[in-house]
Amino acid sequence: MTIFRNPLDRVLSHIDYWRANPGNARITPTTDDLRVWKLICTEPAERLLTSKEPTLVRYLSNYQARQLSGSDSYSDGEMLERSLDALEAFDVVGLTSELPAFARRIDAVAGWRTGRSFPALRVERWGHVMGAPLA
């Protein structure tokens, strides 16, 4: 199973993460990485989202497709094709904006029929979680 966020929410979350954790990389950063991280930490989000700077666009575009396809070096068309192929491996695919439906689908696919309500979680910035039962 997998679940996706709204792409704009996803990229804004990445911007917030990079701003809160500058230089926190899992790889040795390149000169382009360092330049982009500096932009992310200093420029308004609106300017970042409308930038045409190629390295910045690569960082901020198609995050979920890059994760599914396994690389950011594919063309957009190839990334889309590989992402769609990867989705075929999941029994349940959902959206964070539709958690009750996602939970019902898990119940149905797993054959659980629990009838339970599932908590709705909304994360506001780092670590602040709000919850309430879903109808």
Contact 17, 9 (CB under 8 A): no
Residues 96 and 40 in one domain: no
34 and 84 share one domain? yes
pTM: 0.67
pLDDT at residue number 73: 80
Low-confidence ranges of the chain (pLDDT < 70): 22-29, 114-135
Same domain, 31 and 73: yes
In angstroms, the first-to-last Cα distance of the chain is: 22
Domain that holds residue 76: 1-90
Residues 83 and 119 in one domain: no
pLDDT at residue 128 in the model: 43
Q: In terms of domains, do 25 and 84 share one?
A: yes
Domain count for the chain, please give it: 2
- Reported as half-sphere exposure (CB side, CA atoms, 13 A), residue 9 has a value of 10
